[in-house]
Amino acid sequence: MIGLMSGTSADGVDAALIDINGADPPSVRLMASVHHPFATELRYEILAACDPGNASVDRLCVLQTALAIVYARAVQDVSTQAGLDLRMIDAIGCHGQTVWHQPTPVRIGDTEVRGTLQLASPATLAALTDVPVISDFRTADMAAGGEGAPLVPFADYILFSCATETRAIQNIGGIANVTYLPKNGRTEEIIAFDTGPGNMVIDETVRVVTGGSRTYDEGGDMAFAGTPDRELVDTLMEQTPFFRRSPPKSTGREVFGRSFVHDSFLPACAKRTLNDVDCVATATWLTACSIADAYRRFLPLLPDVIIFGGGGARNRRLIDMLMAALPGVRMARHQDYGIPDEAKEAMAFGILAHATIMGRPSNIPSATGARYPAILGSLTPSPSQPVFPWAGRSCTNRTTNV
């Protein structure tokens, strides 16, 4: 199976080719992974699509095809790196590019509705690779009454659960989210939710204060040079309802995107006469503080170890702040457990795709708030396989190259 993931940071697509055997839980082996950065023009198109003030239906229409073309190149490259012909791949699990996530109801006419939108044309991807595609994972959970996120806890349980220690798997992408795995726990005991902003506020702040010459704080260098305004962060956290909401909960650019930075965060920084590096340091502390606060508010006990992943794991200042905010908790990274940081989220959607073709639910209702376990994703056949190759087979002993 090949898993594809491009996150809310919109910096590129990760592809992971994995081999899965067995069930309950399956064994997973990473065979190859690649990262394809998005071209600058494509990234700007994605970010514009995420902004209700700039998005247009004509650009959204063609953006999903453009993304599928980039994804297809990543699929070909990861297959080549693994030395496998694409004909040996059973399916592609494609998350798509989230442009809007609306877990809280809005009214249309006399009906309150929720929704989520991830772009990437599965038909285009299947046509270009001649591999069946599973996509649109989040909507089945939302149809079951869930938030549609987080979905990665199912994979976190398979990859990281442990009989002897309690682990928190902390992803720091555009949005930060945690999966809490009690030692020797069952899936019903998993706690998982979005903690708040990850790199999203930091990246936009860096872009603004540098006049666009930088798009992120590499290694946390700007934050190291500044001093965070902790009082300002305390005020912002008190004024933002998301931080006080109990799980299950999820969020995205609709709460912590461009409007939050330009309408709330940067004006507050200006009012307190913070300089550029102090603004970046304060945005970094907002991420660290919101993660630590979420652990203390919503987890039954602090974990024995926090295992970090995502781009934020490479921000040394952010990790230093988290170590100070959560003293006594051991810190590690995905790669310490044999999983490259850049591959883990893509691996997760390969694992979710495998569950789908096996006919197994892969949401965690305790994490998403869904009323029942749901089989996730929509299936798109490839040109040479108009009927899925696994159709009619027993799921009991199914082995796939994912």
pLDDT digits (tens, 9 = 90+) for 72-119: 999 999 999 999 999 999 999 999 999 999 999 999 999 999 999 999
Domain membership flag for residue 393: no
In this predicted model, what pLDDT tens digit does every residue of 130-181 receive, in sequence order?
999 999 999 999 999 999 999 999 999 999 999 999 999 999 999 999 999 9
- Structural domain includes residue 376: no
Model pTM? 0.91
* Statement to judge: residues 218 and 120 lie in one domain: no
Domain range enclosing 236: 157-341
Q: How far is CA 227 from the centre of its chain?
A: 29
- For residue 280, the domain's CATH number is 3.30.420.40
Spatial neighbors of 131 by CB under 8 A, at least 6 apart, are: 2, 75, 86, 89, 91, 92, 382
* 219 and 276 inside one domain: yes
Is 107 among the domain residues? yes
Residues 191 and 239 in one domain: yes
Pair (101, 196) in one structural domain:
no
Last residue of a domain, one of 136, 168, 195: 136
205 inside domain: yes
6-32 burial, b for 16+ CB within 10 Å, e for fewer?
Answer: bbbbbbbbbbbbbbbeebeebebebbb
- Say if residue 337 is in the same domain as residue 263: yes
Top pLDDT among 394 and 204 is at 204
Q: Does a cis peptide bond (omega within 30 degrees of 0) precede residue 248?
A: yes
Q: Within this chain, do residues 197 and 317 fall inside the same structural domain, yes or no? A: yes
- Give the pLDDT of residue 341: 85
Q: Per-residue confidence at 388, pLDDT binned at 50, 70, 90?
A: low
Mean pLDDT over all residues of the chain? 93
Q: What pLDDT does 8 receive? A: 83
Each residue of 267-300: pLDDT tens digit? 999 999 999 999 999 999 999 999 999 999 999 9
In a domain, 379, yes or no: no
Non-local (6+) Cβ contacts of 307 within 8 A are: 160, 167, 168, 169, 170, 332, 333, 334, 336, 337
Residue 259 within a domain: yes
Task: Say yes or no: 284 and 162 in one domain.
Answer: yes
- Condensed to tens digits (0 to 9), the pLDDT of residues 321-331 reads 999 999 999 99
Domain count for the chain: 2
| Together in a domain, 246 and 119 | no
* In a shared domain, residues 249 and 323: yes
Cβ burial, residue 236 (10 Å; 0-12/13-18/19+): buried
Do 238 and 126 reside in the same domain of the chain?
Answer: no
Would 397 be classed as within a structural domain?
Answer: no
Among candidate residues 290, 322, 341, the one where a domain is terminated: 341
Q: pLDDT at residue 303 above 90? A: yes
Same domain, 181 and 76: no
CA angle 150, 151, 154 (to 5 degrees): 125
Residue at a domain's end among 316, 341, 366: 341
313 within domain boundaries: yes
Q: Do 173 and 298 share a domain, yes or no?
A: yes
